Amino acid sequence: MAPGLVEQVAHIPAEETKKSAKSKSTSLNYVPGRTVYKSHDESYEFEHLRPHFPKVTWPELKEVPYHDKGLEGHPEFKNLLRSATDVFDYNPKIGTEVHGVDLANLTDAQKNDLARLIATRGVVFFRDQKNFDINAQRELGQYFGTLHKHATTSTPRQEGLEDVHVVYAGEKSPDLRALFTPSFLWHSDVTYEVQPPSYTSLKVLTGPPRGGGGDTLWSSQYAAYDMLSGPMQKYLEGLTALHSAELQAEGTRKLGRTVRREAVVTEHPLVRTNPVTGWKSLFFNPGFVTKIVGVPKTESDHIISLLNEIVATSPELHVRFQWNAGDVAFWDNRATNHSASYGFAPHRRHAVRVCCQAERPYLDPSSKSQEEDLHERYGVPKATKDGSGVVNYND
């Protein structure tokens, strides 16, 4: 059952027990790359949230009104952070962790600040949210907008939670990484919808112990846009991309499951403006973009390849989060991609996700990039992107 260690009591001779007692205070039970495996009995606390694939069909999504609550948030997030005991960024481009805030008991002003912070930082992490059960998670999601119901992925066994997406890998789940290229695993959720999501929460209910794997990574699309040269930015701003749900639907049918809503293919701008920050971002999805519209296939394929490389392989765009049970991540799908990581078998990983439909993606040509805005406000140096200079890279 590697790489886990089953939590069992082995027979230890009496003389070894005496030796162990003497050394217990000075030694640790450490085996490199191995973590203790926890079994889950029939009284599993989250049985009602285990995955279910209902055999129902739904009509196509209709456009719904959307008002971004982040526009009402305080520019310095004072309402949200007044109860915080600590707040820190993971790196300059993306990722912030907040301590001391109970997501289940926020005022409306704090919720607005939360939305603004998520839109600004891409993803925000909260540890050990014991009070933030599935009802509180849905309630907060509904405050931000109309909850999205996924057409193919699993929903909880409990009825009435069809707008909750279940992430579940059990003890016997196969490791599927060989079926995908590494860049393909990077994605932004359901961008093929006419109104792709904005604010999305994921709470891990049960997961590997520390060091057991199952981390999630996010990549900033604000920063991805800023990595491009000025001419390339302008070029991409004039293009659109096709986002397709067809591959997802096809895989669901092959598994013998019901596609609850017919697959759609939607055309979105390749660069969009976030209404809260006013920043331009790439709006590219390695998992769902199939074609760049209006250019030859060779050109389309090369644009997709270039953007895949930027999203998946640029460390300064990335943040990596190591989960504990009860932790919550809140991210803005408009401004980030994310990727799961494998290698946590045989541990169970169980999480629930809630997201809301946002505005139709749009580009405001007068909007700024994250780099431009931070340079003007704080004097943060702009990156040199002309490729000039002499380089001698040595470790």
Give the CA distances from residue 157 to residues 46, 48, 59, 71, in Å, rounded to whole numbers and listed in that order.
10, 5, 22, 36
338 annotated active-site: yes
For residue 75, say if its preceding peptide bond is cis, omega within 30 degrees of 0. no
Q: How far apart are CA 319 and CA 183, in angstroms?
A: 16
Write the DSSP symbol of residue 118. H
Q: Quick one: DSSP state of residue 105?
A: G
Structure tokens at 121: 């930082």
Strand extents, DSSP E, 207-361: 216-220, 240-244, 265-269, 271-273, 279-282, 289-292, 318-321, 328-332, 336-340, 349-357
Alpha-carbon distance of 101 to 18, in angstroms, equals: 46
Give the per-residue SS3 of 6-64: ECCCCCCCHHHHHHHHHHCCCCCCCCCCCEEECCCCCCCCCHHHCEECCCCCCCCCCCC
- Which one is catalytic: 165, 187, 268, 272? 187
Residues 6+ apart with CB under 8 A from 353: 164, 165, 166, 167, 189, 200, 201, 202
1 neighbors 39 (Cβ within 8 angstroms): no
Residue 117 and residue 80 in contact, taking contact as beta carbons nearer than 8 Å:
yes
**End-to-end C-alpha distance for the chain, whole angstroms:** 38
Residue 182 phi, psi dihedral angles, 5° rounding: -60, -40
* Catalytically annotated residue among 243, 334, 338, 347: 338
> Strands 4-6 and 96-99, how do they pair?
unpaired
Which member of 189, 226, 327, 332 is catalytic?
189
**Has 187 been annotated as catalytic?**
yes
Q: Is 189 a catalytic residue?
A: yes
Distance CA 391, CA 54 (A): 57
Active centre residues (catalytic): 187, 189, 338, 353
